[in-house]
Amino acid sequence: MDATLHTERLTLRPLSIGDAAPSTRIMSPAIARWTGSWTGVETAEEIEGRIVRSLEAERDGGRLMRAVILTGTGELIGWVGVVRTAAEPERGSLGYWLGEAWFGQGYGKEAARATVDAAWDALDLRVIEAVAQVGNTASHRILKGLGMKHRGQRHEFATARGVADLCEWYELRRTEAVSRG
């Protein structure tokens, strides 16, 4: 799938190698601490490799990953995506990050909603889940705002830090998403 998604304020387009340098500038350790796979000190070359792997996985039907762009300026402000889980192919996992300059403006929820809506058909999913560390209250608000149901807590291994973080676990079933309009 190569579709670009549009929201009121955002353009969500497939990642490109050109996104590596701006991603390096806006990803920081303060943002990465809330993710499982970023350190916040990646080089442009490391991010290029991540982009190439992501594009390959998308071509193989394993994910829908988008660069989050401010429509008015064309500026990259983060990434958002849904990745098919290996253990349950009809389940996807939502992930996102935004640069600190764009926190608290509703961009996360706007990008996540459009991506979740597109991922149902793009990946033929029945359930989309997300986890957020217990202290990540901004993500909890986003996930609840998407209509996701809290399913409890679980530990998620953060590959970038080599630790298992205690996270709140949320799910949205396709039937629930359809009913919310």
All domains of the chain in start order, with CATH: 5-180 (3.40.630.30)
Task: Give the CA diameter of the chain.
Answer: 43
Q: pLDDT at position 177, please? A: 81
pLDDT in tens, 54-76: 999 999 999 999 999 999 999 99
pTM of the full structure: 0.95
User: What would the mean pLDDT of 17-27 be, rounded to a whole number?
Assistant: 97
pLDDT in tens, 26-59: 999 999 999 999 999 999 999 999 999 999 999 9
pLDDT in tens, 103-162: 999 999 999 999 999 999 999 999 999 999 999 999 999 999 999 999 999 999 999 999
